[in-house]
Amino acid sequence: MSLSVTILGSSSAIPTSKRNLTAHLLNHDERFFLIDCGEGTQMQLQRFRTKYLRINHIFISHLHGDHIFGLFGLLSTFSMMGRKNTLHIYSPGRLKDLLNSHFAFMGETLNYQIEYHEVDAKMPEVIYDDKKITVTTIPLRHRIPCTGYCFREHPKLLNIKKECIEKYQLGVKDIVDIKQGADFVLENGIVIPNKELTTEPVPPKSYAFCSDTKALQRIVPYIANVDLLYHETTFLNEDAKLAKATYHTTTGQAAQLALEANVGKLVIGHLSSRYKDDNRFIKEVQDIFPNAIMAEDGMKIDI
What radius of gyration do the chain's Cα atoms show?
22
Q: Cα separation of 20 and 8, whole Å?
A: 7
Is residue 179 within 8 A of residue 157, CB to CB? The reply is yes
Amino acid at site 264? G
Counting every residue written for the chain, the total comes to 303
Is residue 123 within 8 A of residue 141, CB to CB? The reply is no
**Does the N-terminal peptide bond of residue 239 adopt cis geometry, omega within 30 degrees of 0?**
no
Is residue 28 within 8 A of residue 132, CB to CB? The reply is yes
Question: 180-197 in b/e burial notation, b at 16+ Cβ within 10 A?
Answer: eeeebeeeeeeeeebeeb
Q: Cα separation of 115 and 163, whole Å?
A: 47
Q: Which among 66, 174, 212, 297 is annotated as catalytic?
A: 66
Q: Could you confirm whether 227 is annotated as catalytic?
A: no
Amino acid at site 157? L
Q: Cα separation of 160 and 206, whole Å?
A: 24
Amino acid at site 111? N
Q: Cα separation of 86 and 164, whole Å?
A: 44
DSSP state for residue 14 in the 8-state scheme: S
Query: Mind spelling out the 3-state secondary structure of 170-189?
Result: CCHHHHHHHHCCCCEECCCC
Query: What positions carry a catalytic annotation?
Result: 66
